[in-house]
Amino acid sequence: MDSAVNSSRTNFDFEEDGQIDFEQSVPEKELLEAAKGYIAAYLKVYLDKIEESKAKRIIDYVQHQQPKYRYLIAQRPSTIEAISPNLSFQDLDIALHKELVQWDLELKKAGEELQRDVARKVVSPGDVRKRYEEYSRQINGLSKTSLAEYIIRRKVILDLLENALQITTDGTYVSEESIHSIICPMQYTSDEATFEEMNLWIIDERLAYHNFLASDKQMKSIPVIDSDSGDRIDIAIFDQAISFSDKENQFYNDYRIQKAKSQRLEAR
């Protein structure tokens, strides 16, 4: 190995194929893995303390701040080993999310391989059942993780709304725009805002299923109605012909006219 070291003795001169050219060529990866094993054994007393502290911190973070990763940690203990110690909470969340995505990809691959093996009939019925049960168990676990994340997100949104509805320190309320934006972004339509940006479930879960939505748009700019009015509707959601308003306005009158025209055509 002395003959394969560089002139400053800071690295080895690996060949293009990742090997050191001496009596018995050794791949770079194999050499580094062997060295890591010796280093880990030499520093075991110190590394064990670091790993113990890291595991305790990650488990505490998951239990008290991000329970969506609880099933991941329980079913894949190797997740803790794969994460670097002393990460900030933001970086820790990113690292856990990457492990979750990696697990999801592995499960999809396992499902595809199972389908191929079944189609080619290269596995016995007993083996198929065993592999399917394990695959199903892990898929159900990932579904629980997604559900936990979904519930946490909703809890955060509701907390934001509750705080926004409180009287401020100067005795006033927050602006209408703040409340509006929590439920749905302003000056957007359903073709411009993503599904995740709209929290219509706060009002009614069924509002998520609609043909068209306009948020704080002038009536004359809404393509699904025929109106010249410059009035703005806070949130207009179109699916069935139903309107809620505290007074008769241009939108109500336009709808009434359109309905009357339709009835006259039907009578003819």
pLDDT bracket for residue 170 (50, 70, 90): confident
Percent of the chain with pLDDT over 70: 78
Residues 150 and 231 in one domain: no
Closest CA to 142 of 103, 106, 196: 103
What is the mean pLDDT of the segment spanning 114-139?
74
In the predicted model, is pLDDT for residue 242 greater than 70?
A: no
Residue 169 lies in a domain: no
Closest CA to 84 of 94, 75, 74, 69: 94
Range scoring the smallest mean pLDDT among 117-121, 180-184, 240-244: 240-244
Residues 190 and 226 in one domain: yes
Residue 35 lies in a domain: yes
Closest CA to 20 of 29, 30, 28, 10: 28
In the predicted model, is pLDDT for residue 115 greater than 70?
A: yes
In the predicted model, is pLDDT for residue 253 greater than 70?
A: no
What is the mean pLDDT of the segment spanning 60-85?
84
Residues 208 and 156 in one domain: no
Q: Which residue has the higher pLDDT, 266 or 34?
A: 34
User: What is the pLDDT at residue 240?
Assistant: 63
Residues 159 and 188 in one domain: no
Residues 154 and 214 in one domain: no
DSSP state letter for 229: -
Q: Could you report the per-residue pLDDT of 183-214, keeping only the tens digit for each? A: 888 888 887 877 777 888 888 888 877 888 88
User: What is the pLDDT at residue 257?
Assistant: 56
pTM value is: 0.46
Residue 262 lies in a domain: yes
Neighbours of 224 (CB within 10 A): 11
Nearest-angstrom CA–CA distance, 68 and 78: 17
The range of the structural domain enclosing residue 17 comes to 2-42
Residues 7 and 82 in one domain: no
Residues 155 and 220 in one domain: no
Residues 122 and 37 in one domain: no
User: What is the pLDDT at residue 185?
Assistant: 84
pLDDT bracket for residue 91 (50, 70, 90): very high
H or E segment and range at residue 60: helix 44-64
Last residue of a domain, which of 130, 163, 196? 163
At position 10, the amino acid (one-letter code) is T
Residues 253 and 203 in one domain: yes
Neighbours of 114 (CB within 10 A): 17
Positive or negative: CA dihedral 249, 255, 261, 264: negative
Closest CA to 209 of 232, 192, 190: 190
H or E segment and range at residue 141: helix 125-164
Residue 175 lies in a domain: no
What is the mean pLDDT of the segment spanning 102-119?
79
Residue 58 lies in a domain: no
Nearest-angstrom CA–CA distance, 209 and 224: 16
Residue 56 lies in a domain: no
Positive or negative: CA dihedral 223, 225, 228, 231: negative
| Packed helices 44-64 and 28-42: angle between N→C axes, nearest 10 degrees | 90
**Number of structural domains the chain divides into:** 3
